[in-house]
Structure 1
């Protein structure tokens, strides 16, 4: 549909969404929470979310703003213990898209399924089996909510958990590990995970309720009970508790899954000279340097603890160098989105 084919209300909302996305991207670039490429990606992602409906845009905004604020909390300590820590966060386009590309697709699909009139395949499905279409709508919304609940919970846990005064425990073995270790969990981090997921559930519900109550958001309001034929979420008071609970469950579960993947398929090492944890990229750099020096006999790794080995001066703490941090985030978010889809479809 061209811009000329949109209603005045829809055109105004689209313009508002584009303006807000540009404003937030510029803010992130100015405050150094986004790189140049990250700001461009954030603008595109924000525009898609806002144009699909208020509940999608507000969920993204809550995730982005809270994550940016928490990244700066205890920045001096994080810079000491984490090699990959950047001032202000400074997320690249790859990091932005790892957390939001799939959500863009889900938001667009959800808005299409809720549009009036329905697109051809959805209209045929509604005519053949209204209940199936209702379940599909709920599943897509649940996947969107589960995705951001996982991303937010993981970010909150990472940014707050590292501030816990006691060493975290590796989720697979329970042994104490240095702060910043992938797969390390702490009481503060777990509490932050639950709180982050809950915040996303409430934001999703609150924005959906507002869009329907005010009738001011064209595609967001299309999810109201009256326009969806009474077969989906009505955004009434009774819907608040299930969505909040779904956010909490997906947030905590997704964060634990992310920790499990981090402890097994994401490398974490210890740089004894810098006295901080390092990741896969640093491991590969040290391996290349060691190979260039013909692997001196002194790099045999003798005397290391059980389950640890030395790689070019880097002591392995846990994990295999199979996935990057962005890869782990993408996998855990995708699996949690599936969980959210199943759980919300069962409530439909």
Structure 2
């Protein structure tokens, strides 16, 4: 049975972050509630170090979404609802990480942490890096055939976006390293996160554009799952 103090502490931490984020339109109400589920779940089944990583995803993604929002709005590529993310986006990006955190708490094993970091790195690279990529002055190219397409096209990539994705994934690895994990976590996070973010673009250019029921949130979920798997494979090499 979980310690009530632990539960209240987790709730308080998520409230300190979540309520101001809701007021600043970083998340809508459903995003706030789902953020409690993901954030508290990570804290209760693991520890604050794991939570800091998922928080960095939330912070960087929120900041990147708000960055030059009006400019992105004029280009027609801004996140809807003034940038506020809903529950589908939260779960699409965080469900894999939450599942791995729960497995760590129940089963234990370094492999779950590796997958967790890689999943968070993928989500951060795709969301935050993608938001920065939308500001590229040049039209992006479709990842499947490299043909020039309008900004905002699903599966489109740019040099700015690719660089931002890699740096975001690298940053997650550096944060994990600073918290006491081996230097190899930097390589794993940067590599797996970058791979996962580009898998997201490939899925966006294929399944998401051809299957009506396959939305962006399914793409996010799948790419974070593949990113986690890629991280585990790289760790095993």
Tell me whether the two structures share a fold, i.e. TM-score over 0.5. yes
- Residue 19 of structure 1 is aligned with which of 12, 17, 22? 12
The alignment of Structure 1 onto Structure 2 pairs a total of residues equal to: 236
Aligned to 1:342: 233
CA contact (8 A) 2:69 2:78 kept: no
- Residue 161 of structure 1 is aligned with which of 120, 123, 133? 133
- Residue 80 of structure 2 is aligned with which of 76, 86, 96? 86
CA contact (8 A) 2:77 2:151 kept: no
- Residue 150 of structure 1 is aligned with which of 109, 112, 122? 122
Matched, 1:113 2:85: no
Aligned to 2:205: 263
- Pairing 1:297-336 to 2, within 5 Å after superposition: 319-336=210-227
Deviation at 1:172, TM superposition (A): 1.1
CA contact (8 A) 1:139 1:342 kept: no
Aligned to 1:227: none
Q: 2: distance between equivalents of 1:78 and 1:87?
A: 13
- Root mean square deviation of aligned Cα: 1.8
CA contact (8 A) 1:29 1:35 kept: yes
CA contact (8 A) 1:161 1:189 kept: yes
Q: 2: distance between equivalents of 1:19 and 1:44?
A: 13
- Residue 37 of structure 2 is aligned with which of 33, 44, 59? 44
Matched, 1:176 2:118: no
Q: Give the TM-score of the pair, scaled to structure 1.
A: 0.64
Q: Give the TM-score of the pair, scaled to structure 2.
A: 0.92
Aligned to 1:244: 186
Residue ranges of structure 2 left out of the alignment (5+ in a row): none
Residue ranges of structure 1 left out of the alignment (5+ in a row): 5-10, 115-136, 210-234, 268-318
Matched, 1:77 2:71: yes
Q: Deviations over 1:197-241 (max 9, x none)?
A: 11111222333x2xxxxxxxxxxxxxxxxxxxxxxxxx3xxx12x
Aligned to 2:47: 53
Q: 1: distance between equivalents of 2:76 and 2:199?
A: 21
After superposing on structure 2, the runs of 4+ consecutive aligned residues of structure 1 that deviate more than 6 Å are none
Q: 2: distance between equivalents of 1:86 and 1:107?
A: 30
Matched, 1:96 2:87: no
Distance 1:180 1:2, change over 3 A: closer
Deviation at 1:183, TM superposition (A): 0.9
Distance 1:326 1:84, change over 3 A: farther
Deviation at 1:165, TM superposition (A): 0.5
CA contact (8 A) 1:138 1:341 kept: no
Q: Deviations over 1:96-147 (max 9, x none)?
A: 1111122112112113334xxxxxxxxxxxxxxxxxxxxxx23211211111
Deviation at 1:320, TM superposition (A): 4.8
- Pairing 1:277-292 to 2, within 5 Å after superposition: none
Q: Deviations over 1:265-300 (max 9, x none)?
A: 122xxxxxxxxxxxxxxxxxxxxxxxxxxxxxxxxx
Q: 2: distance between equivalents of 1:191 and 1:83?
A: 19
Structure with the higher fraction of residues in helix conformation: 2
Q: 2: distance between equivalents of 1:334 and 1:142?
A: 12
Distance 1:186 1:108, change over 3 A: same
Q: 1: distance between equivalents of 2:158 and 2:130?
A: 10
CA contact (8 A) 1:171 1:185 kept: yes
